[in-house]
Every structure is written in structure tokens, then in C-alpha cells.
Structure 1
Amino acid sequence: MSVWDSIVSQSQVVEQLKAVSSGDPKAIAQSWLICGPPGSGRSNVARAFAAALESLDHGLNDEPTKTTEQVLAGTHPDVTVLATNKVTIGIDEVRDIIATSEQMPGTAPWRIIIIEDVDRMLERTTNVLLKEIEEPSAHTIWLLCAPSAQDVLPTIRSRTRIVNLAVPTNQAVAKFLESEGFEPKIAARAARLSEGHIGIANLYAKNERVMTDRDELIVGVLELHRASDAVLLAGDLIDNAKAQAEAEVNVKAAAAEADFRRVNGLDAKDRIPPKLRGAYNAIAKKDELKRRATRLTRDVLDRALNSIASVYRDVAVLQNNAEDAVGLINLENRSAITELSVRLDRTGAVRRLEDIATARRRLNGNGNPVLVFEALFCALIP
């Protein structure tokens, strides 16, 4: 399996990066900015590019090498990924990653640094990174990821080679899910509801609870009649978001513990030796798990806003007789959406999309989630 096989609907970018990784090392740009909307796979592209750069076969062979397997699994010693569950990437994290970037690679041609969501940096943090991006160490390549070039300060943007990704088509996402072993019907529905977001499509396909929560949210929005409906729907949404986030954190914590035990030769029931206790406790800090759950709750709520917006997008499609051209997202709710498209005029549909955008801004500004969604659902009542 090639390192590029997991990249969905980005053939032009893949061919470009294949040519770069297999070309003259002296001609390779050392600072890259990989841009694409959420779900386009920008982080996966960065990892695949890193694997191709580090592997002797440049990731062109169907059989993966040990190097490419390590890079894609996040265990290669010369490839470092800076990701965050926080709202912003801290300045200390960037200073640490800069120190790492200045080290010579141990086993591979390059020391590669991948920074996911570089747009989450505050300006003063970005300024710390700027010099390294402008004049990287001789054996270092920086791969920065962001939704768009406009989300990054011009000083960074002007010093990187920009790669723009497209939104994958529903057909391409469905085909990818089928290759991962999902049934065609499940793959097609997950791809449609995700609106081209690969990660969310995969989540919908494998997690029935997440899909059910989305279905119930859409029905709840379509059945809003009174303020009491809005309050109840907001409460259910917040509770479901917290439950989803906590479940995901618990799964990740269990996986981290299992990996710790495997690396240290311990079985599931073995006691942690005193000399390893400190390192073991570090992966199970309650404060850290709580912070991750808070961040993931916000991610679930952000996903909910996209789902809510899809209702009014479908309303607008019907109002403009565009279903044959672009299709509906919420096909299962077509009858109720058709009724809503008659009850609302076009201005009303657009205004509700603006209300959803306002709710997103309030949520991103650390507004109280309960109040944000109560206000939103009240505004959506026809």
C-alpha cells in the first residue's frame, strides 16, 4: 500500500508532491504551507509527504517500508508532529519544537516538523517561529497545516511554498470508506452527511451513536415550534456532546495506557514498577483528560453547527430548484425540509444561516454553550 493511498480526491497535489520528494534534494523547499478546509486531509497529506521524503523509495512502491510505516504511525524519531487540543498553540510548545528542529536527523535524510493547525498560533507565538521558517536548519523541513493561506500571518505565508487542497467529492469519500471495509450503503450515507469531510465521514461510518445523535439533532431542529422546544433541544445537544467527548477521551486514554504497557513489556494486569510510575502517571493526568474532554466537546458542538446549517442549505436548494444540480444532504428528512422550505421565504433561510454563523462566533469566543444554543434554537423557530 503506497503512502499516498489514504489521500482522497487530491490527485494533482499528490503528483506534485511525488515529484518533489523523488527529485533533487537540493531543490526541495524547506518550508511548506499545506492548506485545505476541514476534512480535506491536510494533516494526512503532510504525513504522507514526510514519509515520502524520508523513505529510500520515496513512497512510490506499493509495499510500505519500515520508514514509511513509522512516519505514518507517528513513531519515526526524525519526524515530529505538533498538534494541540487547546484553542491556541502555546509559545513554549513552539520553542520546544524549534529546539527539536535544530537537531540533526538520526536515521533519515531530513528532520521534519509538522505543525497541525498553525492558524491557532497567536501573533507573538508566530513571530517566534518566523525565523526558523525563513532560515531553517540545513537538514530540516517544516510542514505547516492551516485551513487557508489567509488564516496565517503574511510573514509566514510569504516564506512558505503553498499547497492548496480541494474538498473531496462525496463519491471519492464513499469509495475511500469502502476501501476501509465499510458497506457501500453506510459509506455513501456517511460521505453525504459529512459534506466531504473525511474524518467526520469515517466517524459516522464506524460510530452508530454519533450518527444517531446527528439524526436526532436534525429532527429536533425541524420540529422546533416553541421556546421550550429550543431549551430542551439545547440541553440534549450539550449532554450528547459531553458524552461523546468523554467516551472518545476514555478510548484514547486506554489506548495510550495499552501502548505504554506494550512498549515497556507489561501485560494488562501487571503492576506498574516504581521506576515507571512517574511516566505512567503523566499519560493519565486527570487535568489533562478533563482539558481534552472540554476541547472535544467544543469540536462536537462545532460539528453540530455544520449539521444544523445543512438543514437550511437544503431549504435553499429546494427554494432555488437546484436539487438536481447539487442534491440534498439530509435526504432522510426530505419531506420535513420541503415543508420548511415552503414556510420560510428565501430571506428567512439566509437569516438562519447567519444566526448559525453568529452562534459559531460566540462559541469560539468561549460563550456559554447552553446559552449559545438556546439562543440559536429560539432564533430558528419558524
Structure 2
Amino acid sequence: MSVWDSLVGQKPVIDMLSAVAQGDASQITQSWLICGPAGSGRSNMARAFAAALESPDHGMGDEPTRVTRQVLAGTHPDVTVLATNKVTIGIDEVRDIIATSEQMPATAPWRIIIIEDVDRMLERTTNVLLKEIEEPAEHCIWLLCAPSAQDVLPTIRSRTRIVNLAVPSNQAVAEFLMQHVPDVEPKTAQRAARLAEGHIGVAKLYATDERVMSDRDELVVGVLNLTRASDAVLLAGSLIDNAKAQAEADASSIAAGQEAEFRRVNGLTPDERIPPKLRGAFNQIAKKDDMKRLATRRTRDVLDRALNSIASIYRDVAVLQNNAEDSVGLINLENRSSITELSVRLTRADAVARLDEVARARKRLSGNVNPLLLFEALFCALIPA
């Protein structure tokens, strides 16, 4: 089993990175920027590359080595991952990771630092990182991840080797789901892959969570049935409520996982009271402010996914208007008759204008705006004349 087997639809990149890992260590690039749209697997690619660099068999053995298993599980002492459930990565977190990068590796050839979502850094935080990316410590490799090179400051971009991932095909994602998701039916896997539009994480979510799939179906039907402002207001309210419910459930699940891990590490049973000497450490992992920020981040993720679903409607409208269904297919096949009707009511310019409205809403969502007002305004703009 290769370290690369869990990655979907990325053979050219895998071949290149595998060759690098097996090549001359003295010639390796030490600062990388791995780019790919949401769900393409850029963080998983970074971890696989790290495992190939650290493992004696470079990740190509029949069975994963102990080093490979540690890197992929996030427990290897020489591979550090900076990820965040907050909206932005803090400057103190970056300073801490820089201090780690300057340490010699304990057991492996390299000290490897992976930063997920480097695009979530503010400019002043990125500037703190810049010198380390330009002149890494002798035994350190930086693997930065972002949606695209354009999402990263030019000063960082120009000092890294850029790797661009592809959007996996629907068939590749469906096959991945059938191999890695227990008891998933082929029909469910294919539908989840189609609706996820190449996003592996979202495809897994659709395949395993009926509520998330149902919320998406209701949103698409709601947009297709918009006829007046009151419809827009009601649909926006329903969307925000669903997003908050999903976000709170995710945050609670993550918090429960953190508590369970804390208890396991400290030898405590699930029902055992936290001893006074551990109370301070336990409170650090259960801060209310952190949970609030996590819920905010999760809510934005759900709303961003909703924007993708809305955009897919007008993408399908444009496909029908341009007689391109045979070549590119429809995303929302279950709603084909309603989308066909909408494609007749709207002009091509109308469809493009609505896609622009969704893009503007996405940009505003990334700022400090009221989500309810944002979606009320968006849905009003989508009502056919």
C-alpha cells in the first residue's frame, strides 16, 4: 500500500513528488506551496509528501512503515502541522511554529512544517513567516497549503515551489467513496460525488449525513421557487438556522473528541471527574471563546458550501442555454425539469449576472457582515423578473 493511495485524481503530482522524495536530498526544494480548490486534498497531499520524505522506503513499500503511519496520524515528532478552526491563523501561532522549525529533527532526515490554509493569515502574520520561507533552517522543509497561488501574498508565492492539484473527476470521487466509506451504496456515492463537484470532503459528508444532503435539496428547491421578496426572507432564515445547527453540532463533536483524547492521554475514564491538578490544562482545551470561534468558522463553511450549491443552479442553467449538457452534464439532475424551465425564463446574460451575485456574496461573507442580511439580499437578487 503506497502512501499516496488515499489521494484522488492527482497522478501527475504524485509522480513528481514521489520522484522528489526519492531523489538527491541535497537538491530538494525546502519551501513548497501546494495549491488546489477546496476538497482537492491539498492537506492530505502535504502529509503524504511529508511521509515520503521521512520514511526509509519513501512511502513506496507494500506496507506502510512505522514512520509513515506516525506522519499520517499526526504523531511523528519531526512533522508539525499548523491548522486552525478559527477564521484566521494568529501571529503567535506562527511565531511558535517558526521556533519549532529551527530545531534539529529528532529521528528523521527532516524537520517538516505543514501549514494548512496559509491564505487565512493576515498580512502582518505572513510577513513574520516570510524570512523563514526565504531562508529555511538547514534541515527544515515547509509545506504550505492554499486554494490557489493568487490567495497568497506575492512575497511568499515567489519564494516557494508551486504545486497545483487538479479537481478530481466525479467517477474518481465516487470510486473513492465506495472504497473508503463503509456500506455506501454505488448510487449514493455517485450522487454525492456529482453534487460535491470534486470536493472529496463534501462528497463524504453527503454520502454519510442524510441531514446535510436534505438541507442541500431544500435549498436548491427553495432557490428554484423564488418568486417574491417574502420567499427570499423565509429561505434566508431557514438557511441560516440550518447552518448554525450544523456548525454547533460540528463544534460539539470536536469538543467531545478533544475531551476524550485528553482523558485517554491522562488515563481518565469517560465518567471520571477531572482532578484539580489537571483542571487548568483541561480548561485550556474547552475555552468558551475557542468554541465560539470554532462555531463561527463552521457556520461560514456551511454557508460557503450553500453558495456553491446556489451557483451550481445557474451553472446548470447556462449549460442548458448553451446546449452543452452532453459534454459537461448537469450537477442538479434531480431538479432538471425546474432548471430547464428557469433556463427558458432567463437570458444568458441573466444567468451570468446571477453567478456574479453569488460571487459577490461569497466575497462579502469573508468580511464582517451579517449573514442573514447577506442571504436575504442575495435571494432577492435571484428572483426572476
TM-score calculated relative to the size of structure 1: 0.98
Q: CA deviation at 1:92?
A: 1.5
Q: How does 1:36-185 map to 2 (within 5 A)?
A: 36-180=36-180, 181=182, 182-185=184-187
Partner of 1:272: 274
Task: Give the number of aligned pairs.
Answer: 382
Q: CA deviation at 1:124?
A: 2.0
Structure 2 Cα separation of the partners of residues 311 and 373 of structure 1: 16
Partner of 2:383: 381
Q: CA deviation at 1:62?
A: 3.0
Partner of 2:286: 284
Partner of 2:235: 233
The list of structure 1 runs, each at least 4 consecutive aligned residues, that deviate by more than 4 angstroms after superposition, is none
Structure 2 residue 4 is the aligned partner of structure 1 residue 4: yes
Q: CA deviation at 1:276?
A: 1.6
Q: Could you report, residue by residue, the CA deviation over 1:283-319 in whole angstroms, capped at 9, with x for unpaired residues?
A: 1111111110011101100110000000000011111
Q: CA deviation at 1:126?
A: 1.6
Q: Secondary structure at the match of 1:257?
A: helix
Structure 2 residue 302 is the aligned partner of structure 1 residue 305: no
Return the letter of the residue paired with 1:161.
Answer: R
Q: Secondary structure at the match of 1:77?
A: coil
Q: CA deviation at 1:88?
A: 2.4
Structure 2 Cα separation of the partners of residues 267 and 121 of structure 1: 38
> Could you tell me which of 247, 252, 255 is aligned with 1:245?
247
Contact 2:87 2:293 in 1 (8 A): no
Contact 2:13 2:165 in 1 (8 A): yes
Structure 1 Cα separation of the partners of residues 344 and 311 of structure 2: 17
Q: How does 1:16-31 map to 2 (within 5 A)?
A: 16-31=16-31
Partner of 1:200: 202
Structure 1 Cα separation of the partners of residues 61 and 213 of structure 2: 37
Return the letter of the residue paired with 2:54.
Answer: E
Q: Secondary structure at the match of 2:143?
A: strand
* Structure 2 residues not aligned, in runs of 5+: none
Return the letter of the residue paired with 1:38.
Answer: A
* Structure 1 residues not aligned, in runs of 5+: none
Q: Could you report, residue by residue, the CA deviation over 1:192-244 in whole angstroms, capped at 9, with x for unpaired residues?
A: 00000111111111111111100000010011111111000000000000000
Q: Secondary structure at the match of 1:58?
A: coil
Q: CA deviation at 1:190?
A: 0.6
Q: CA deviation at 1:85?
A: 2.4
Q: CA deviation at 1:168?
A: 0.7
Q: How does 1:314-329 map to 2 (within 5 A)?
A: 314-329=316-331
Q: CA deviation at 1:146?
A: 1.1
Q: How does 1:336-375 map to 2 (within 5 A)?
A: 336-375=338-377
Structure 2 Cα separation of the partners of residues 257 and 91 of structure 1: 26
Structure 2 residue 193 is the aligned partner of structure 1 residue 191: yes
Q: CA deviation at 1:81?
A: 0.9
